[in-house]
Amino acid sequence: MHRGRVLRHFLRDPSAVTGAAILLLFVMGAILAPLIAPQNPYDLETLRLADSLKPPIWMEGGERPFLLGTDEQGRDILSTILYGCRTSLTVAFGVVLVAGTFGMVMGLLAGFYGGFIDAIVMRLADVFYSFSTTLMAILVLGLLKQKGVLVLILAISLTDWVRYARTLRGTVLAIKEEDYIDAARALGAPTHRLIFRHVLPNAVPPLLVVAAVDFGVVIMLEATLSFLGVGLPVTEPSLGMMISIGRKYVYAGKWWLIVFPGLALTAIVVGINLVADWLREEINPRIQKAVKGR
Amino acid sequence: MGAYIVRRLGQGLLVLLAVSFICFVIFQYMGDPAWALAGRYATPKQLELVRQKLGLDKPFYIQYIIFLKNAIRGNFGMSFVSRLPAMQVILERLPATFELAFMAMLLAVTFGVGLGVLVSVSPNSLFSRLIMAGSLIGISIPTFLTGILLIMIFAVELRWLPPFGRGEVIRIFGGWRSGLLTWDGFKHLILPAFTLSTYQLAVLLRLTRAGMMEVLGEEYIKTAWAKGLPPRSVLFKHALRNALIPVVTMIGLQFGELIAFSIVTETVFQWPGMGNLLLSAIFESDQPVIVSYITFVSLVILSLNLLVDLLYVFINPKIRYA
């Protein structure tokens, strides 16, 4: 891999750098939330009803330390956003890890061995794909009546692995036709060596694009599910739930309850999509080269 | 072709069976609807009576077989909440959801493909850059947030459009109550339809642009320009036709998403459709309504996917289904 070249391309692309900067900002904010947040919004002892529904600090009635105002229970909006980002990013990492690993195994098996395994995996993939991760997650979580970060990760991964399996299967099928695989096989390389030394390393780049796009999709999905009331329990901070609370005050003009968490949510996903777009363009020529034969 | 359709229908039937079975397995671990019906202070005897009445006292597999037998006859049991036939409850809400989804799809395809072509012609113009920035936000903003922001701006601040409900509807034929034919009903449809279309519109726009940019570099397009064909003919007849295949695939794959996001949109706008009904059925553990919804939606998704596969044949004559 030409690390230096990739880095140079990255630094020359202003939108990729912007995306990465936004992402870094939110990841840092999420990790450091307990240190930098003015308040722990889920520690009930720090909440005072007298502080409820305060506007942002620059508006009349705004108060320190509530920079972006407070919600109906007197929770500081900025702190809740920071803690909510923690949850969003945890769920997204969890899904990419669980669905990514499972999808990779299935895609590898289907692409490398073909036949019966391939038929089963691809039929399953077709069905899950057409039913959409969102629809399945709403139904599964709605029926399970159980809530929590882990349940959410598993419910989303239940159908989300298909993205990874499909992509990896396609790449593996293309790589299998390459001459260097035949050469390795002719030299008597064992199957596991073929898979781990020759197939997987070359199949990773397209998977990175899928993972990046998926990361953004899952963040939106978690927010949506929590907004609908089937995602996280009320005891977990979530951007989607903040907006769902804010919705009750739309007519009362308490816009900060929706606009700030909404802005944070959209900004994270825009950041990810900017990086994903760059990644796709960076990797694409290489795929074309691989297909045309180097 | 005929054999292909039969095989696809067979697969579809298997999927439906699997879907209905999965529903039933999960129901086994769900809250007891007898409690919800008989009330919190019901005696064990009253509970038992309710269970018998609903057939909940029978073993799991018998309940499933009874369900399948009834399902073939179109009978999905009575809603626990409204005490009406569950499928009827779902189908009553169909016009609302159909009109919403149809308008959203129309907006997404027209503007997604149209703007995608425009942007591909002059990718570096200010107009194209603005559109692409908009599409980036379009794929990054969750549907529910779009809906709420639109309500805040156009209903609460500007007071141009109504924030919720379906407005005035009129009966057109049979039981189909349409909101499209009254000015009030149309006004109520604008915000929800736009909300539901945003994400799909942005996805289709980006896909069309990528496809067009690739095709526009091909030799035969240069030939078409060199022949002096008018731009409309080159772009839409020669280029778009070839760039459209991934777009049609995506439209086919997005039906499931469209239905999923119609649940979200209907919740935000309190739109009296199937998605809204599903969500309340989930919170009330209204098992027959949930199962009817899943069955109906699976049927719709499977047939639409089949339709899209057949559409390929018309777009690309090279594809033949053996």
Q: Which of A127, A219, A258 to mutate to test the interface with B (most CBs of B within 10 A)?
A: A127
**B97-134, pLDDT tens digit by residue?**
999 999 999 999 999 999 999 998 888 889 999 999 99
Q: Which of A134, A223, A269 sits opposite B260 (nearest CB)?
A: A134
The more confidently predicted of residues B259 and B1 is B259
Chain B contacts of A140, Cβ < 8 Å? 26
Is pLDDT at B140 greater than 50 in this prediction?
A: yes
Q: Which of A224, A255, A272 sits opposite B264 (nearest CB)?
A: A224
The DSSP string of A48-92 is: -GGGTTPPPTTSTT--TT-TT-B-TT--BHHHHHHHHHHHHHHHH
Chain B contacts of A246, Cβ < 8 Å? 148
The torsion angle over the Cα atoms of residues A267, A269, A272 and A277, rounded to 10 degrees, is: -110
Which phi and psi (to 5°) does residue A129 adopt? -65, -45
What DSSP element (H or E) covers A225? helix A200-228
- Amino acid letter, residue B79: S
User: According to the model, what pLDDT value does residue A294 have?
Assistant: 28
Looking only at the bridges linking them, the beta strands covering B170-173 and B176-178 are antiparallel
- Amino acid letter, residue A14: P
Contact A273 B139 (CB under 8 A): yes
Which tokens sit at B183?
């000015």
Partner A contacted by B145 (CB < 8 A): yes
Contact A243 B152 (CB under 8 A): no
Chain B contacts of A220, Cβ < 8 Å? 140-142
Contact A143 B27 (CB under 8 A): yes
Q: Which of A88, A132, A209 to mutate to test the interface with B (most CBs of B within 10 A)?
A: A132
Q: Calculate how close chain B gets to A186, using CA atoms only, in Å.
A: 36
Contact B297 A224 (CB under 8 A): no
List, as ranges, residues 249-288 from B with C-beta within 8 Å of A: 252-253, 255-257, 259-261, 263-264, 267-268, 278-279, 282-283
User: According to the model, what pLDDT value does residue B303 have?
Assistant: 84
Contact B294 A139 (CB under 8 A): yes
Partner A contacted by B23 (CB < 8 A): yes
**Are the beta carbons of A249 and A257 closer than 8 angstroms?**
yes
The more confidently predicted of residues A34 and B192 is B192
Chain B contacts of A139, Cβ < 8 Å? 290, 294
List, as ranges, residues 156-175 from B with C-beta within 8 Å of A: 156, 163
**A74-90, pLDDT tens digit by residue?**
788 898 999 999 999 99
Contact B305 A130 (CB under 8 A): yes
**Are the beta carbons of B35 and B42 closer than 8 angstroms?**
yes
Chain B contacts of A240, Cβ < 8 Å? 142, 144
The more confidently predicted of residues B216 and A97 is A97
Contact A240 B156 (CB under 8 A): no
User: According to the model, what pLDDT value does residue A125 have?
Assistant: 83
Contact A144 B29 (CB under 8 A): yes
The torsion angle over the Cα atoms of residues A13, A15, A21 and A24, rounded to 10 degrees, is: -100
**B9-22, pLDDT tens digit by residue?**
887 788 888 877 77
Nearest-angstrom CA–CA distance, B129 and B237: 25
pTM of the model: 0.87
Beta-carbon pairs below 8 A across chains A and B: 114
For B277-290, b where at least 16 C-beta lie within 10 A, e where not — what string?
A: bbbebbebbbbbbb
User: Which residue in chain A is spatially nearest to B135 when comparing CA positions?
Assistant: A270
**Percent of chain B at pLDDT exceeding 90:** 28
Predicted ipTM of the assembly: 0.88
Contact B152 A262 (CB under 8 A): no
The more confidently predicted of residues B87 and B316 is B87
User: According to the model, what pLDDT value does residue A204 have?
Assistant: 85
Q: Which residues of chain A have pLDDT under 70?
A: 1-3, 285-294
Which phi and psi (to 5°) does residue B171 adopt? -75, 120
Average pLDDT score over chain B: 83
